[in-house]
């Protein structure tokens, strides 16, 4: 039995999310099906994170155990051939005995992309969130400081979240503007379901002047989903990487 570590890139638009679903296509399901077609063995893929429908990844890390004995490069090439034309690419594969993509991860990194302009998106449609009204990125960045550190993030937690505790430690939440592009960088050991999108939605309210930093703090302290301003759409969310 060999354990392979995979680094995976994907466009989340055609999928119901990372996790295998009974009611639609998933990234996990597509890769597991491809592995079965290659080696004739049904395997389970374990990932560093579970992205929602429409969320993308630049470098999702996963592992899988097989009896195939294939060299990692050959497995990577075979998977990429089988996965076409689905928008999934295996960027790297290696043998990693004892490695666990989920439990060994010490930090997960996400980036949310907002395009702040009136013109419709063209090639970025579905890959970013277009906000037409002017956003004050500096005010968003300053307010984001209130969310870093250890907090009860119940307000920013989906009602379907399965995490045992709403208490998380957010290591980074930075808002950086370059022209019409606003990137929000979030880093933590783990996140609640919808946490990043919920934080981005509230920061958008800060950027438009609908909320102040005090309103954001009130929402955080409320520990109640009803206090949330907005859950941002999945389009602009990217899983950037995992640290071990």
Backbone torsions φ then ψ of 200, nearest 5 degrees: -65, -40
**Full DSSP string of 181-206:** EEEEEEEES---TTHHHHHHHHHHHH
| Of 18, 40, 2, 178, residue with least CA distance to 108 | 18
Maximum distance among all Cα pairs of the chain, rounded to whole angstroms:
58
Of the residues 11, 52, 92, 181, only one is catalytic, namely 52
3-state class of 154 per DSSP?
helix
Catalytic residue status for 65: no
What is the rounded distance in angstroms from the CA atom of residue 18 to the CA atom of residue 28?
A: 5
- DSSP character at residue 147: G
Catalytic residue positions, numbered: 52
């Amino acid at each position: 039995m060999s354990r392979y570590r995979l680094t995976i890139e994907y466009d989340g638009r055609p999928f119901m999310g990372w996790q295998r679903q009974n009611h639609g296509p998933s990234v996990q399901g597509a890769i597991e099906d491809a592995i079965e077609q290659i080696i004739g063995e049904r395997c389970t893929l374990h990932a560093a994170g579970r992205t929602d429908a429409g969320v993308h990844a630049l470098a999702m890390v996963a592992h899988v155990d097989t009896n195939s004995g294939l060299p990692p490069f050959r497995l990577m090439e075979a998977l990429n051939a089988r996965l076409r034309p689905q928008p999934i690419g295996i960027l790297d594969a290696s043998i990693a005995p004892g490695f666990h993509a989920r439990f060994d991860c010490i930090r997960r990194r996400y980036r949310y992309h907002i395009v702040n302009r009136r013109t419709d998106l063209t090639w970025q449609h579905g890959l970013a969130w277009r906000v037409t009204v002017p956003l004050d990125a500096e005010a968003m960045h300053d307010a984001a400081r209130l969310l870093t550190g250890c907090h009860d993030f119940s307000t920013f937690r989906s009602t379907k979240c399965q995490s045992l505790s709403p208490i998380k430690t957010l290591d980074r939440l930075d808002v950086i503007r370059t022209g019409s592009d606003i990137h929000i960088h979030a880093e933590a050991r783990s996140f609640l379901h919808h946490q990043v999108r919920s934080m981005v939605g509230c920061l958008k309210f800060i950027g438009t002047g609908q909320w102040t930093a005090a309103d954001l703090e009130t929402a955080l302290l409320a520990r109640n989903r009803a206090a949330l301003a907005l859950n941002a759409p999945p389009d602009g969310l990217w899983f950037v990487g995992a640290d071990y």
